[in-house]
Every structure is written in structure tokens, then in C-alpha cells.
Amino acid sequence: MLWSLIGIGVFVYGVVYLLALLLLDCDLELAIYERFGKSIGRLKGKVCFITGASSGIGEQTAIVLARHGVKLVLAARRRGELERVKRACLEESKGVLQDNDVLVLPMDLCDLNSHKALFDRAARHFNGIDILFNNAGRSQRAVFENIEMSVHKELFELNVFSVVNLTKIAIDHFNQRGSGQIAVTSSIAGVMGVPYSASYTASKHAIHGFMNCLRTEKTGKHIAVTLLCPGPTFTNFLQESFTGKSGEKYGETVQSTDKRMTGQRCGQLCAIAIANKTKESWMAVFPLIPFVYLYTYFPTIYGIMLKMVGPEKMFKLRDSNEKLAEDYKN
């Protein structure tokens, strides 16, 4: 009788879990935090330094945080776009944030020698930084054998080494303050091997290696590390993506008919993950979340499905463009 009840309980749990994955646009932990976890409002008054804040996920997360009274350092290369985001943040805060509470900081992330001076400037402005959100980065689309070695190096300079360098500076600051949080925009590509983005996928796997090591070292030392892993999102990332050739941009635009998460929704989920100090959070529209669960927890089943589906259809889950998928197939 007891074993029958246990069996029924396991079956019901599995069914509920499966249904949740079919309905949710994020992993189950993050969905629970969204409904029952700590409010983003708990971050009110804290200072968040955001790289890549001039567009996309960085911009949308900044707006969500501003809505909840978080003071901001907006860093990116384009001052004009940063000023636009600042105005949006101040408006969204509805008077809670004043002009001095949002600092615009033009910054080239690939200029590693400038990082400390700029971070120190922001820390002096606010008398300290509480959260570093490493969001800047670029994606890539190319067949593995067509990628020049120079592209691997360029992409790692931006997506990995700039993040690691700025993180080290922030950790030194947090060690002195006794607390702090590092958040990094990784990708679903940092969790699983995705097709036709080898340099990008490798860079995100490298980020997971660095940040998981950092989290292990800082366990119990009041420094949190949060990896944010979005899937396809409505941003300008495709236009700016690397290809297989140095200096070349992919140049494709995201279509309104594509199956992607909105930037606003992604920013909301990122803010929830930061507020709840999650270790790793996945966010993507169906069916990517079930695919990630299969890849992570049932790799044999995933491998069988991949053989049945093929890399071209996997590619189309990211970029809903049949022509591009055919180009890579050929």
C-alpha cells in the first residue's frame, strides 16, 4: 500500500512538472520565485552597474529595476543611447529616482585598461556598488569549419575576458564592503551545445566555468553569483552578431513573426532572478525550456531526439527563418 502511494505520488509529481514546463517561459525555480519569492522592490536604494545598458536586455532590465527604485550605472559605448535609456528609467521610476541616481558611463568593454578607473568613478558617485550586471556581449552565426581563428579571439575578448576583468574589479570592491552580487547574461547556448554558433557557445560555456568557480569560492562570504540564460529574444542581437569572418556582421533583422521572448519580459525575469539571487536561471519561449531540461537531466533521450530533429530544425528554434536554416544546411 505504501509503495503504491509513493508510486502514485511520483507519477502525479512528474505529470505536474511536465505540464509546468509546457506552460512556463522560464525554469521552474524562477517561476516559483516570480510568484512566491522576494520582490524586486527589496533592491530599492541599491546600486546596480549594468554593462550593455544602451539596448536589448540591459536596457529592459534597467527599466524594470528603476521602476522599483534601484539606482543605476548605465554603461555602454553609445552615450546618446545611454541618455535615452536614462530618461526612460527616470520616467519609469515616477519620481523615486532623481537625475543623480542614474549615472551614464560611456565605456568600451574591450578596453580592459579603462575598467578600474570607470568602476571606481561609479563607486565614488554612489559611495559604493551593490550589484554588477555583466550584460554586454555579441552573438554569432556561422558554420564551425568556416570560422576564422581571429573571430574566436575577438568574441572571447568581448564575451569572456572583458566580463572576467570587470568582475575581478567588482569582487575586490565587494570584498572591502563585505557583500555584493555578480550577475552575468549568459545564454541557453551556455547550457547546451547549439548549432552554427561555435565561438559564441564556447564563450558562454567559458563564462559558466568562470562564474561557477567564483560562486564556489565565495560560498558563505556574502557574495552571490547569478547566471542569466535567455533564449531567443526580440532585440537587435542578430544585426550585430559575429559571423565566421573577422569584421563582418550578420546583419539580419528579427521578424515580428519570430517565436521569441519580448525584451520587456526577459528584463522582468532577469530582475526577479537578481532579486532572489538565483544561481542559474533559464528563460525562453516554448519549446526551448523542455529541450534544456532534456539536455541537462536526460542526455540520452535528448541525443535520440536531436538525431530525429537534426541541427537545422534546432537552428530554427533560435532563428525562425527557414531560408537561413536552408543556407546552413546547404
Quote the pLDDT of residue 286: 86
111 neighbors 75 (Cβ within 8 angstroms):
no
CA 247 – CA 283 distance, rounded (Å): 30
Lowest mean pLDDT among 221-235, 260-274, 316-330: 316-330
pLDDT band, very low/low/confident/very high, at 321 (cuts 50, 70, 90): low
Determine which one of 33, 200, 250, 295 is catalytic. Answer: 200
pLDDT digits (tens, 9 = 90+) for 80-125: 999 999 999 999 999 999 999 999 999 999 999 999 999 999 999 9
pLDDT band, very low/low/confident/very high, at 323 (cuts 50, 70, 90): very low
Lowest mean pLDDT among 30-44, 86-100, 223-237, 304-318: 304-318
207 neighbors 160 (Cβ within 8 angstroms):
yes
pLDDT digits (tens, 9 = 90+) for 178-237: 999 999 999 999 999 888 999 999 999 999 999 999 999 999 889 999 999 999 888 877
Quote the pLDDT of residue 200: 95
Burial 254-271 (b: 16+ CB within 10 A, else e): beeebbbbebebbbbbbb
The 3-class SS string of 219-245 reads: CCCCEEEEEEEECCECCCHHHHCECCC
What is the percent of the chain where pLDDT is above 70? 89
Tell me whether strands 71-76 and 280-283 are parallel, antiparallel or unpaired.
unpaired
Delineate the domains of the chain, giving CATH numbers in brackets: 23-285 (3.40.50.720)
Judge whether 200 counts as a catalytic residue: yes
188 neighbors 145 (Cβ within 8 angstroms):
no
If you average pLDDT over every residue of the chain, what do you get?
Answer: 90
Q: Give this prediction's pTM.
A: 0.91
